[in-house]
Amino acid sequence: MKGILRKLLFGNMPVREYSTVTIAGDIKETVFLKTKKNTIDISTSHWLLCLDPVVFGVWINDNKLLADINENKECKIFFGSSINTRDEKIEREAVAILELSRFDKIEEKNGTFFLWKLEKNSIHHVGLIKALLIFHRYYKKPGISFKKLKSFASAYSYPRRVRIISVRQGTYYNIFPMDLLGEISGSKRFVFGLRHTNIALSKIIETGKIVVSEVSFEHKETIYQLGNHHSVSPPSLDSLPFKVKQSDNFGFYIPEWAERYNEIKIERTINLGSHMLLWGQSVNEKTLKPSAGHLFHIHFLHYLYQQRKGYAYPLV
């Protein structure tokens, strides 16, 4: 009976919480933020930074929009595939609709970084009955409610790129992957959301330094092995399954297969809940090799939606 139910729900697809994909060309999804006065495309200027509660950061550098958003403590965010800015079309075609409240911001000379906390949301990747069946069969466990499943499915209805983080303090080092981070185009600013349980967090705050590398999806297995370094001490450099290089200014270790890296000085931290926000500026950027395509995470429900629409990203 379980096999029949699974076949009806997913066909032959393996069930997982998140799907790992690679993207050739532009990301298909669009994300819109709506206030009382404006609806704006934030697809390339929003980032997921915390999971409990779910927190998004949005970069705004338009003076008219800044005045509008500063006046509004609440907003809606729509995740979808439509590039039409007509409000009724955006809402009708959205796979996830989120209601958020603004609780903090970081003001810079060339823009403002707003922080928004998820208050409630709805998802439309699959019908409600199917979503409940999937939840009770595959996702329900201590600490995971249907409400939390909806919040994760919403947040990962836009591909989150995986990058490699490097940390070093004296003889200590750490190298691990992250997808709760972002690069603010044209500003040399970076933002990160690190779990408080990550043992490297205190080292980053003490040194005020971090290095972030762009890496190819071809190294997926090694990237996920590095994920074990979040909560435990990393092995000796000699026992890593790859060679490392040192960054030019900080001397932090980066994988030899890194495509590009930025050395970043951390200027501010904000406690978001389960994660700590780190706000910093790149002091050195270096390109090492051409890009071969990156690794992204999307929620499994969003991958199901893509399959149904006939444009799913390639799994890796």
- SS3 helix, strand, coil % of the chain, rounded to 5? 25, 40, 35
CA pair distance 76, 227, nearest whole angstrom: 33
For 253-283, the pLDDT digits (tens) are 999 999 999 999 999 999 999 999 999 999 9
Where is 259: in which H helix or E strand?
none
Residue at 99 is within a domain: yes
What is the Cα–Cα distance from 303 to 306, expressed in whole angstroms?
5
Domain-located, residue 17: no
Shared-domain flag, residues 249 and 278? yes
Which two tokens mark 292? 């071969």
Answer whether residue 76 is part of any domain: yes
Is residue 313 one of the residues assigned to a domain? no
| 219 and 256 together in one domain | yes
Instruction: Single out the residue of 209, 204, 216 nearest to residue 242, CA to CA.
Output: 216
The token duo for 198 is 């990550």
For the record, the structure tokens of 188 come out as 């040399």
Say whether pLDDT at 168 is over 80: yes
Q: Of 159, 184, 213, which residue constitutes the final position of a domain?
A: 159
End residue of a domain, out of 126, 159, 192: 159
Looking at residue 1, its pLDDT comes to 47
Mark which of 122, 141, 159 sits at the end of a domain: 159
For residue 10, the model assigns a pLDDT of 62
**Would 306 be classed as within a structural domain?**
no
| Positions of E strands within the chain | 18-22, 30-34, 39-41, 46-51, 54-60, 74-80, 96-108, 111-123, 160-161, 163-169, 172-178, 181-184, 189-195, 209-214, 244-246, 253-255, 260-271, 275-287, 295-299
**pLDDT value of position 54:** 97
Task: Please write the tens of the pLDDT for every residue from 75-127.
Answer: 999 999 765 556 667 888 899 999 999 999 999 999 999 999 999 999 999 98
pTM for the whole structure: 0.92
Are both 117 and 228 inside the same structural domain?
A: no
Residue span of the structural domain in which 281 resides: 163-293
Q: Say if residue 222 is in the same domain as residue 148.
A: no
pLDDT for the residue 229: 67
Q: Within 13 Å, how many C-alpha atoms sit on residue 192's CB side?
A: 32
Which pLDDT belongs to residue 243? 95
- Whether 139 is covered by a domain: the verdict is yes
pLDDT, residue 288, reads 96
Closest CA to 155 of 312, 9, 17: 17
136 and 148 part of one domain: yes
Taking only the tens place, the pLDDT of each residue in 189-237 is 999 999 999 989 999 999 999 999 999 999 999 999 998 766 677 888 8
